[in-house]
Amino acid sequence: MAEFSVVEMAMRQIDRGAEALKLSENQIRLLKCSKRILRTTFPVEMDDGTIRLFTGFRCQYSDIRGPTKGGVRYHPNVSEEEVIALAAWMTWKCALVDLPYGGAKGGVICDPLKLSERELEHITRRFTAEIMPILGPDKDIPAPDVFTTSKTMAWMMDTFSMFAGYTEPAVVTGKPEVLGGSKGRKEATGRGVAIITREFYRAQGKKLDGCTVIIQGFGNVGSHAALFLSLMGAKIIAVSDQNTGLIDKNGLNIQELMNCTDRNRCLEPYIGATHTKPDDIFDVKADILIPAALENQIRKDNADSFQVGAIVEGANGPVTPDADEILEQKGIHVIPDILANAGGVIVSHYEWAQALSGLYWEETEVNEKLEKKLVSSFNEVWRRSQNLKIPLRTAAYVVAIARILEVYKYRGIFP
């Protein structure tokens, strides 16, 4: 059992940033206030003719910097608390990398691995219809997340467009390219994790060549982080999904693993490495660990056992506050989620801007813009960390919170 709820984790992280900035109680109240949460329960006719009820949520945490932005996930453990915390993290993430967005998050309680494509489409279209009043390219813009894809976003876009009476490609991001999706969007989060990892090493005068990496979670983010890190010279020695761990101290063939998951939706059939339980990869000694699965994976009860030099958060909220303190004492650097996995929302912003303008960029241009934005954001966090002698997570919150409060300074409190 986790020692913190995800909302408590998010609030604790705000507290550390607020302490470093010496904020007033009024300022802290503003930061901890979630603007809106929509909860809906809706019926769907299943393939066998039965009617099932599904529950979904959409939280818009803050729109002080612009329309809210954030993913939609399908998972059995989706909850109201989870989407509030994820929307809060999205708020700080957008502020940290200086995008004109607030943070949002959504989800539906379901197990997509046990649903047909037709059932997933019906769930998506009905959920979109339920949250229509708060959606829009100038209100709230969803994107893919855990167990949702570009096809999910196509269904959401089409449903919104049918109700609106016109085609609106800017209402979601992460769409297929043929519908106005940006080139490079699918790979963006994983690419960003690799870029931030490289910059962390570069800031210390080191290179990634030969560094050993463990990746927990081999979905879109974890697999692309593995691919780009391997292209940068790192060696991926262990990976896992929800059912299987794979270990090869000589280095795994990432393209073969990606082909396996494309065919089978899991790692289990892969025969080119030692199979273990998923959590067994945490026992492997390596230079870098990338948790790219779900929240609350590195906790007080297991943090002391890790044998890594740095943790780069590909997932949102994988390290609890108590674990942060243990890792800090052990000298293990943690590159926080709001920086490490910001590549996805950065390219989502580019996709939104392209959809609004009707002008589209080549993949090289998208990737160049992404790299420039991430390198600049990392350097700002690194400078704050070094100058104030604070952990990278706290430094990231200092930058993000300062930007949000600067907007409040000029906009004020209505009325």
Among residues 242, 234, 305, 229, the alpha carbon closest in space to that of 277 is found at 242
Rg (C-alpha) for the chain, rounded Å, is 20
- 22, 32, 35, 105: the catalytic one is 105
Look-up: residue for tokens 């059995």?
76
Cβ distance 394 to 20 under 8 Å?
yes
Tell whether 186 is in a known binding site. Answer: no
CA distances from 315 to 25, 88, 311, 411 (A): 30, 14, 11, 33
CA angle, corner 123, sides to 119 and 127, nearest 5? 170
Query: For strand 235-240 and strand 140-144, is the pairing parallel, antiparallel, or unpaired?
Result: unpaired
Written as six digits, the tokens of 129 are: 């219809």
Cβ distance 344 to 72 under 8 Å?
no
Q: Looking at 132-237, list the stretches that DSSP marks H as alpha helix, in order from N- to C-terminal side.
A: 150-164, 185-203, 220-231
Look-up: residue for tokens 């273990």?
276
Among residues 227, 243, 235, 230, the alpha carbon closest in space to that of 275 is found at 243
3-state secondary structure of 247: strand
Tell whether 93 is in a known binding site. Answer: yes
Q: Is 105 a catalytic residue?
A: yes
Gap between the Cα atoms of 393 and 377, Å rounded? 13
Gap between the Cα atoms of 374 and 360, Å rounded? 21
Tell whether 348 is in a known binding site. Answer: yes
Tell whether 277 is in a known binding site. Answer: no
CA distances from 170 to 135, 224, 266 (A): 11, 25, 32
- Quickly count: other Cβ atoms within 10 Å of residue 365's Cβ: 13
How is 11-57 classified by DSSP, letter by letter? HHHHHHHHHHHT--HHHHHHHT---EEEEEEEEEE-TTS-EEEEEEE
Written as six digits, the tokens of 324 are: 């942060």
Q: Looking at 25-149, list the stretches that DSSP marks H as alpha helix, in order from N- to C-terminal side.
A: 25-31, 80-96, 117-131
Written as six digits, the tokens of 313 are: 């958060």
Q: Which segments are annotated as binding site for substrate?
A: 69, 93, 348
Active site (catalytic) residues: 105
Q: Which segments are annotated as binding site?
A: 69, 93, 189, 220, 348
Q: Which segments are annotated as binding site for NAD(+)?
A: 189, 220
